[in-house]
Amino acid sequence: MENKRSSTNQLVVRELGRIGYTEALELQRRLNRERSAGLIPDQLLLLEHPPVITMGKSAPAHHIVASQRKLADAGVEIHRIERGGEATYHGPGQIVGYVIINLQERARSIKRFVTDLEQVFINVLRDAYGITAERDDNHRGVWVGHDKITAVGIAIKNKTTLHGFAFNVNPNLEHYAWIVPCGITSGGLTSLERLLGRPQDLTEAKSALIDGFCRVFGYSRPRLSSESLKQN
């Protein structure tokens, strides 16, 4: 834990590997408390989850379309959480990012924060992969044509953000058939692997993402955390 109040242009990046959803949620909540108290700088957690379905506050139960038995046989967990949005799938091959930012210190509205988060991926897809992506007027996230490649869902507690994004690099897209993803019944899901015709290097994708995140949000060179967590 930091012993002094943080500078607003500092960012700590924690690359956590593949960890369980509950463990990551507990870490988010702890960091949210510490960040809101000014004990640590802003945080970006980058990780993968084993297969899991998360449900936002307003997500209807029938948006999980797979049977409970099928999900149990596949080892899929289900969590209802405090973020906005509908049902979302997380799994291996997807970069999940949890963002712990004090919005008050950075003079950002919630709307601007989400718009900036989307812009990170629009820039990364264009600059690192030559892919044209855009926003959708009716749905949050980042889209390539009619297909979604990045989901965005946040919560605010103590004027500090929780949750963040899920970026499809090499996930099993068939797993999205388990849900009505983000409440969307038209259009589909895509990934870097599908768009480029081959699996993509997750390390390279994370590096491009960190650089893009710092440019959009105005951070100086990020600091990697030495904290390690037990991984699944």
Which residues form the catalytic set? 182
* Alpha carbon distance 115, 109 (integer Å): 10
| Site of tokens 């640590």 | 40
Q: Provide the angle, in degrees to the nearest 10, between the axes of the packed helices 202-217 and 110-129.
A: 130
In terms of Cα–Cα distance, which of 206, 217, 170, 174 is closest to 191? 170
Q: Are 98 and 23 in contact (CB under 8 A)?
A: no
